[in-house]
Amino acid sequence: MAFITLQSDCFNILFLLSLNLLSGSDVDSSAIFASICSVLGAGIAMGLGSIGSAVGEGMIAMNAVDSLGRQPKASGKIVRVMIISQAVTETASIFALVISLLLVFQG
C-alpha cells in the first residue's frame, strides 16, 4: 500500500513539474527537477543494491543447507562460515543505502 502511495506521489510531482515547465512560471524548476532525480536515483540505487545482496545471501544459504545435509557433523563450522559470508555479502546493500541517503539528503 505504501508503494502505491509513493508511486502516485512521484507521478503527481512529475505532472506538476511538467505543468510548471509548460506554463513558464517563475518557480525554479531546475531545483525541483534535481530533487526528483535524486529521489529516483536513490530508489534505483537501493533497489539494485538490494537485489544483488538478496541473491547472494540466498545462494549462500542454499549451499550451506546442502552442505549440512551432506555432512551434519560439521554443522558448527558451516553455520559460522555461512554467517560471515552473509555479513560480507550484505555490505553491498549497506553501501547502496549510504549512497541513497546521500542522494536524498544532500543539498
Distance CA 30, CA 7 (A): 21
Q: How far apart are CA 49 and CA 92, in angstroms?
A: 6
If one counts every other C-beta atom within 10 angstroms of the C-beta of residue 11, the result is 10
φ, ψ of residue 19 in degrees (nearest 5): -65, -40
One digit per residue, pLDDT tens: the chain, 107 residues? Answer: 444 454 566 666 666 666 666 666 555 667 777 777 777 888 888 888 888 888 989 999 999 999 999 998 998 999 999 999 988 888 888 888 888 888 888 75
In angstroms, what CA-CA distances link 36 with 41, 42, 45, 68, 80?
A: 8, 10, 14, 48, 43
User: The whole model's pTM is what?
Assistant: 0.62
Beta-strand (E) ranges in 17-101? none
